[in-house]
Every structure is written in structure tokens, then in C-alpha cells.
Amino acid sequence: MRSFYIALFFWNFAGLLYGQGTLLPLGSETYWTMERLEIETGMSAPFHSTLKYYLRGDMVRYAMQLDTSSELSLSAKDRADLAYIFKDNNEWLVTSAYPVTLAGPKDDPVYAYKGKVDSTGEWSSYYYRTKKPILKIFYRTPANFYEIDRPFFHLRVNPIVNFYGGKTNERGSDLLFLNQRGFRIRGGIDDRIFFYTDLIETQARFPDYVRERSERDNAVPGAGFFKPYRSSIFDINDGYDFLQAQGYFGFNITKHVGMQLGHGRHFIGNGYRSLFLSDFSPNYFYLKLNWRVWRFHLQNIFAEVALQGAGDDVGDLLIPKKYFAAHYLSFAATPKLTVGFFESVVFSRNNQFELQYLNPVILYRTVEQLVGSPDNVLLGFEFKWNLLERTQLYGQVIFDEFKFDELFLSDRKWWGNKYGIQAGVKYVNVFGIDHLDAQAEFNLVRPYTYSHRDSSATYSNYNQPLAHPLGANFKEYILRLRYQATPKLLFKARAIRANTGEDVDGINYGYNVLEPTGNNKIEEGVVIGQGVRTEINLFGLEASYAFWHNMELTLEYFFRDKQSEIPERRLRTSYIGGGLRINIAKEYQDF
């Protein structure tokens, strides 16, 4: 019972947190770590986990809560997870040597509850240091190549490396590779201003199914501008070369309101996929506001995205732009139940943002009607429920367009009933095995969802979906397993099955969100899977060994089989590969 009151205290304390800070990069394994800790312990995290990114300061606060709770029985692996969080976010552990620490003033309730801040005025007991730094300058702590901690200022600099090689069964060259190099910098000033930037240069040869997708959409998944890459040494003439950059500037307007201006991506959801907003498309320019008060977290995103793919022939002309605005309101109804409301609008104007969409609290559907209803508005609802000690249920519902009588009273299956559904479950410590976790997820999206009569208002960026990678007109089943054998050794497996219907012969069956809903659509009798019936089965196995903090050796097996009513569209892919990753997460091409 006492643990319940501890959870209740921190649940209500969440509203006291600062509005902004540096963020955990998308794709990091730490996201799963934070989620499993919340599910396993039953102690509510002091943030709304549906909204990704997570603030690094929030993660440290939560790790301290778990570490200091006398009611929790944490395993050695759980303790290793907490140690990783402290190492990876040590700028939030500077103590009383500074008048105001990077984790907040000394009257911060977390510190009052924690009761472990060192009185020496030097370092927190959670601050890990390397015994023998390189040249006494580099890697003074395990997580950072170079770092600075000064009163009212901190800086972290790290390299990014991803060398991957594989062998595939495909025709032509059987070599797959991924060569990425770059850097990442983050910092903060006065506990009010935060900044982040990274730059990654990539040369790659992807499997055939990825190249087919790139040729169809004139866009490499996850990339913006790209150019061909050829190598006479490795006999490669179908590779890609592209540069990715991400960065933002953040400012704490008040204790509860933060602002960000930057270039990047976002993810809203608790699943492997998101039907609201995912990180599948390339980085885009955005202004973001976060309002965190009591049990509420409201996030506003105002963004500029590309109207077409970088591979489209525009010469030296400016790539046409379009815009989107999104709100997500999250409410922690109880320590275990969180519900959310989502709305977004995509629109195109001649070199300007529709100013009426800047209102951070109004329903976009009313604004759309006021300006003449020319835009693409989506509405959605979401929930996350930590139902039992080791179980989490979650789900999403998205509505693009529908009429009540057509959806519930008519049986003609009107094309305009555009909606999607997600339902999922997470279960940690399966069969009582510490750190053996499972996730099962189902996604369904009706034909023509995310598309629009005006091709400039489709829910896309650089010819890539802003939500689910499959677009629309599909059912998908996902099963994932994750086993942390030791703090350094991780195994993962995933199996995905998708049934969809592709377009053919100039008829829009509602599969490709880039296609406008013009005269070539099906008006009635619309069902999921209409068109060229297609089934995709995907299976992946991974093993990784971390020989140093955020440095790991990887080994992977991948299989994908696409069956289609049209024999020419059938494609089977398998490969095995491995490599070295430093300070970068794996990007999955599961479509």
C-alpha cells in the first residue's frame, strides 16, 4: 500500500517539472527500458510516455525515484538499467558545487525525497567516472567523448559511427552495406536554454524491396535529398548517398511551458507503429510548444514539410512546401491510466502558413470550415493502461473523414469512412524470466485514409507517410520479443504480417496516401485489401554486445516475403549481416 502512495506522490509531482530540456534521440533502447520499468514496478513515471521524445532530466528523476523506493524489489538487471540511465544523462547529476544545478534548484522535491545529494560540493553519488580517461581529456565519463560542466553551462560531444555489412540472396550484387559517420552535440545554459545538433553522412546499398519503394516514391525512406552512389571496387551501381542533419533550440518560457525551434522528427504513441505521427519520414522544420501542468501535457507542433520527393526532377528550383499543425493533449486520469486526444491538419498555401492554425487550443475542424474546408484534418484518441503488475494495454483510433450514418447505419461501405485502429499489449518478465519482454500489436487502416482530394494536402513529407509506413488499406499483425541476457548482451526478434491491396491500372484502391482521391477511386463496397491482394511476411533476429557504453557489435538475420496476385510484384528477400554501432540506434525498414 505504501508503494501506491509513493507512486501517487510522484504522479501528482509530474506537473512540477520543468517544461523543456535536451531530449533522448528517437530509436534509443532506453525508451523500452523506461517503459518496462514503469510496467514492472507499477510506479508511474513523471512524464507522459506517449509523447516521444523523453526529456533526459525526467528520466534521471524517475530513475532516482525507483532507486530510492524501499517498497520496490529491483533485480540486478534493473539496477544495471538505472546505472545506464545515470551514465547516459550525467549532466543532470551535478550537485551542490553549483548554485543552481542542471537538475533544478535545491528545493526541488526530487532532491528532498532522494536525500542522497553529496554534501562535498563535488559530484553526485550517481555520477560515474572513467578510471583512465584518454589523454586525461576524452571519455572522462563512460558515456561522453568530451564533456564540460561549468556553473550554469554544460556540453556533451560524441561521435556517431555505424558500419554494417551483409550478404543477400538477391540478383546482381549480393552485397549490402551501411556506412554512417557523424557527430552529436547537446548542451544547456542557465537551466533555461538547451540546444542539440547532429550530422550524419550516409552511403548505403539497401535490399531490393527498399530500392523498389524508393523508385516508386522518388524518396529514400527516412532521407530527404539523396544522390546515387556507385563503387567500382565493390561493383555497386545502385547505392544511395545522403546527408541527414537534426537540431533544435529549446527555451523554458516558464516552469511549466517550454518551446522548441528545430529540424527533426517526432513520434506520438505507445506502439511499434503510430497512426498519429511517426518517425518514418525525413526530418522537417518545426516549432513545438510543451505545456505541462498537473496531470496534463499539451504538445503543439507547427511544421513545414516537403510537397514532393527529393528524387523528383525540380532542377535548381525550390522544392514545393506544405504545412502541418498538430496538437496532442495527454491526461493522466490515474497513476496507471493515461488517455489522449490528437488532431492535425495538413494544408498547402502559396509561400505562407495559415495563421488561423496557430491557435494552440482550438479544434482544427472548426478552423478548416471557417477558411472554406480545403484542408486535410485528422482526429484521434489514444489510451495507455498499466492493467496488471507486468502488463500494459494501449491503443489508438484515428479518423480522417467519416459520416455517422454511413459508418454505423449504412451497409454500402462508403469510401469516405476513413479511419484506423491500433490495439496492443506489452508484457514484461515473460514466464517469470527477468528481462524477457514481449509485445503484440494489431494495426488496421481503411483505404484512402491520410489521402485527400488535393494531392498537396496528403499526410506525407518528401513523398513518405507521416504516420504508418504502409500508408493505408492494410491489416498488420506484429509480435516482438526482447531478452536482455546480461547488461551487455541483448537479443531481439520480431515477426510482422501485413495484408494489403495495392493500386493497379490507374485505379486508386486507397493504398498509396500520395494519390489524390479523385475520380479514379472506388465509391462503394470499399474494404481493406481491395485492389491487388498482397501479403507481406517479415521476420528478423538480432544480437548485440555492448563492449562499452553506447558502443556495440551487432549480428542480424532478416527475411521478408511478399506475395502478390501479380507475379511480377512478388519478391523474397533474406540476408545476414553485422557491424559496429557507436552512439546511433538501428533504423528499421519494416514495410
Query: Which residues, at least 6 apart from 161, have a Cβ–Cβ distance to it below 8 Å?
Result: 180, 181, 580, 581, 582, 583, 584
DSSP conformational letter for 405: I
216 residue type, one letter: R
* 513, 471 Cβ separation under 8 angstroms: yes
Instruction: Map residue 91 onto helix, strand or coil.
Output: helix
> How many other CB atoms are found less than 10 A from the CB of residue 506?
6
Helix (H) or strand (E) holding 514: none
Q: How far apart are CA 184 and CA 189, in angstroms?
A: 17
pLDDT of residue 106: 36
Helix (H) or strand (E) holding 494: strand 489-502
Q: Could you give phi then psi for residue 573, rounded to 5 degrees?
A: -130, 135
Nearest-5° angle of CA 19, CA 22, CA 24? 115
DSSP conformational letter for 105: -
* 540, 494 Cβ separation under 8 angstroms: yes
pLDDT of residue 70: 85
Cell numbers for 105, please give them. Answer: 534548484
Q: Is residue 231 part of a domain?
A: no
Instruction: Map residue 289 onto helix, strand or coil.
Output: strand
Q: Is residue 233 part of a domain?
A: no
**C-alpha closest to that of 493 among 508, 478, 505:** 478
Q: How far apart are CA 252 and CA 100, in angstroms?
A: 15
Q: Is residue 315 part of a domain?
A: yes
Cell numbers for 322, please give them. Answer: 506544405
Q: Could you give phi then psi for residue 274, rounded to 5 degrees?
A: -130, 135
Q: Is residue 437 part of a domain?
A: yes
Q: Is residue 591 part of a domain?
A: no
Exposure of 254 by Cβ count < 10 A (0-12 exposed, 13-18 middle, 19+ buried)? exposed
pLDDT of residue 467: 98
Q: Could you give phi then psi for residue 355, rounded to 5 degrees?
A: -60, -30
Query: Which residues, at least 6 apart from 372, have a Cβ–Cβ distance to it below 8 Å?
Result: none
pLDDT of residue 393: 98
Count: domains in the chain:
1
Along the 591 residues of the chain, how does pLDDT read in single tens digits? 444 444 443 444 343 344 457 899 999 999 999 999 999 999 999 899 999 999 999 999 999 999 999 889 999 999 999 999 999 999 888 753 333 333 444 344 333 223 233 434 445 678 889 999 999 999 999 999 999 988 788 999 999 999 999 999 876 668 999 999 999 999 999 878 999 999 999 999 999 999 999 998 899 999 988 999 988 777 788 899 999 999 999 999 988 899 999 999 999 999 999 999 999 999 999 999 999 999 999 999 999 999 887 665 555 667 889 999 999 999 999 999 999 999 999 988 776 776 677 777 766 666 655 555 578 889 999 999 998 889 999 999 999 987 778 777 778 888 989 999 999 999 999 999 999 999 999 999 999 999 988 888 899 999 999 999 999 999 999 999 999 999 999 999 999 999 999 998 889 999 999 999 876 788 888 999 999 999 999 999 999 999 999 999 999 999 999 999 999 999 999 999 999 999 999 999 999
Q: Is residue 493 part of a domain?
A: yes
pLDDT of residue 2: 41
Q: How far apart are CA 35 and CA 338, in angstroms?
A: 13
Could you list the residue range(s) of the whole structural domain that residue 536 is in? 2-177+188-225+245-582
Q: How far apart are CA 445 and CA 221, in angstroms?
A: 20
Q: Is residue 263 part of a domain?
A: yes
* 450, 471 Cβ separation under 8 angstroms: yes
Q: How far apart are CA 487 and CA 78, in angstroms?
A: 9
Q: Residue 578, Cα to own-chain centre: how many angstroms?
A: 24
Give the chain's end-to-end CA distance (angstroms, integer): 45
Q: How far apart are CA 1 and CA 49, in angstroms?
A: 24
pLDDT of residue 508: 92
Instruction: Name residue 325's beta-bridge partners.
Output: 302, 345
Q: How far apart are CA 156 and CA 116, in angstroms?
A: 25
Cell numbers for 219, please give them. Answer: 524518396
Q: What is the pTM of this model?
A: 0.90
Beta strands in 315-446 (DSSP E): 321-332, 337-347, 376-388, 391-401, 418-427, 436-445
Identify the CATH number of the domain in which residue 351 sits: 2.40.160.130
Cell numbers for 414, please give them. Answer: 462508403
**C-alpha closest to that of 56 among 101, 90, 11:** 90
Q: Is residue 219 part of a domain?
A: yes
Q: How far apart are CA 416 and CA 195, in angstroms?
A: 43
Q: How far apart are CA 231 and CA 198, in angstroms?
A: 27
Question: In which region does residue 125 sit, left (phi positive, over 0), alpha (psi from -120 to 50) or beta (all else)?
Answer: alpha
Exposure of 497 by Cβ count < 10 A (0-12 exposed, 13-18 middle, 19+ buried)? middle
